[in-house]
Chain A
Amino acid sequence: MSDLNLIIRTADKARKAEITVADTQTCGDIIQASLENWALPKETDYTIINVSKTPPQTLNPSTSIATAGVVDGDTLEIQPVLVAGK
């Protein structure tokens, strides 16, 4: 296990933070922490994108950030899962 320094931001770029997390944390844990710290709308579901990768990767919420290939210095973006269509 090792710690990673990451940048987390929202899709609208209004929220941004530098965090240090254990690489055993899941992508879902990061979404949950962002939701709580930034008081994001709770009725929305969120996904997480590693925008530092080329091309950017949509990460599986249940996998650890290490397994998802996230490395020190990466920027992760929290994006809403869009459900409406009508």
Chain B
Amino acid sequence: MTNRYQRHSLIDWYDQNKLLRTRVVVVGAGAVGNEVLKNLALLGVGHIHVFDFDKVEEHNLTRCVLFRDSDINLFKADVAAEACRRIDPNLTIIASRTDFWDSLTLKEVSESDAVICCVDNYEARIRLNQLCLMTATDFYNTGIDSRYSSAEIYPFSTNPECACYECALPSSAYISMQKRYSCGWLRKVAFEEKKIPTTAITSSIAASFTVSMMLNRLNEHPQALQGASRHFQDSITLEATLSVPQRNENCPACRSVDLNTGIISAKHSCTQPPIIPLAENTSGEIVLSEPVLIRGVCQLCGREQEYCESARKLSDAVTFCSMCGSHSVATEFFERSTIADFEKVFAGRKIPCKFIKYVEDHWQVVVEMED
């Protein structure tokens, strides 16, 4: 090992070789993401995959340690990855300028030691939580505002029955989330996201505690947190709370994930076995990872249009009928059905979702769609 990590080697519980083998997925390369990535690179974590589809804007420069003026209009993931390579050339870092939901595979999640969530919305947190729950991968969530920061750990790899991110989520969070969408999860074109004030102080606090939780677990520190935990820090009074989320038996995420889960992959266009090994039992239920728009019918002129697209990639513009000049199109979504109906709808078509799930012999089978 080089002299680079000499000070780390003086820490009796610090296993640099283990960190060099560690794989971490970081979703979001904004204020908290920058701090997380900077910490991971300085600590000598070997493999990072960072996801962010946004570009650097001028206002990011007050909170993002890895960005400079010259980076404006470049992709955040690319700039952050390059800055991390400069911090530690031993680091292998992949930058993806995409929505993680499209390009982060369940296989990659399951092979990662940690997934760190540094996003700015509930949907991404809920989806990452779901992927980590299904693959029994440790999930770390961060959050900030101008005064407070939170760092949460959900150690699914060793404690698969611990509380998850959604267990303590208030119902108002789902109401807030729904404000961004019209019925059926079509994004509202006119919706403007509220800007939440944040500072480099709260983002660095959130990142420090989050990476520290991960570091302690990876190094098997005897005092590392073993259960789900939430660290909440007030940056003004400097008071903090380390609380334990209670598992919620009615949690939508926990209920949807059977502990005996098998994950296989299939082509998007395949509706034949092995996707549907239960084809003989066509009354069995199949659940899609997200609603798929399959049809729109104008309630005024009766014009009908066929679709086969994930609702999350569409906006409420599809409810507009150009013939009638009004939002009069009723939409039909496909989210769960019998296997027989599933085959009817998707026979010969690309299945536009991340995965489908069904139950077979008391096992939950998750079929991830691959391009």
Contacts and interface: CB of A to CB of B under 8 A. Distances in A.
A41 B147 CA distance: 14
A18 to B, nearest CB: 20
A46 B229 CA distance: 17
Interface in A1-55: 11-13, 28, 31, 43, 45-47, 49, 51, 55
B196 A61 contact: no
A57 B242 CA distance: 8
Contacts of A55: 229, 242-244
Contact of B147 (A12, A43, A63): A12
Chain B: interface secondary structure? mixed
Contacts of B58: none
A42 B122 CA distance: 17
Contacts of B142: 85
Contacts of A46: 170, 172
B31 interface: yes
A70 B303 CA distance: 57
A60 B169 CA distance: 7
A62 B250 contact: yes
Contact of A45 (B172, B206, B241): B172
A43 B168 CA distance: 18
Interface in B127-175: 142-145, 147-150, 163, 167-173
A31 B32 CA distance: 28
A82 B145 contact: yes
A68 interface: yes
Contacts of B60: 86
Interface in A54-79: 55-63, 68, 77, 79
Contacts, number: 116
Contacts of B187: none
B232 A11 contact: yes
B198 interface: yes
Contacts of B206: 85
Nearest to B30: A86
A41 to B, nearest CB: 10
Given A85-B119, A86-B31, A11 B242 contact: no
A85 B118 contact: yes
A61 B246 CA distance: 10
B291 interface: no
A11 B234 contact: yes
A85 B31 contact: yes
A4 to B, nearest CB: 18
A58 B248 contact: no
A81 B173 contact: yes
Max chain B C-beta neighbours (<10 A), residue from A11, A13, A79, A86: A86
A52 to B, nearest CB: 11
A3 B10 CA distance: 56
B31 A56 contact: no
18 contacts: A45-B172, A45-B176, A47-B170, A49-B241, A56-B241, A56-B242, A58-B246, A59-B168, A60-B246, A60-B248, A79-B241, A80-B145, A82-B148, A82-B149, A84-B198, A85-B203, A85-B206, A86-B120
Interface of A: 11-13, 28, 31, 43, 45-47, 49, 51, 55-63, 68, 77, 79-86
Interface of B: 28, 30-33, 54, 60, 117-122, 142-145, 147-150, 163, 167-173, 176, 194, 196, 198, 203, 206, 229-230, 232, 234, 236-237, 239, 241-246, 248, 250
Given A43-B176, A84-B120, 10 more contacts: A45-B173, A49-B232, A49-B243, A68-B246, A79-B241, A82-B143, A83-B196, A84-B145, A85-B142, A86-B32
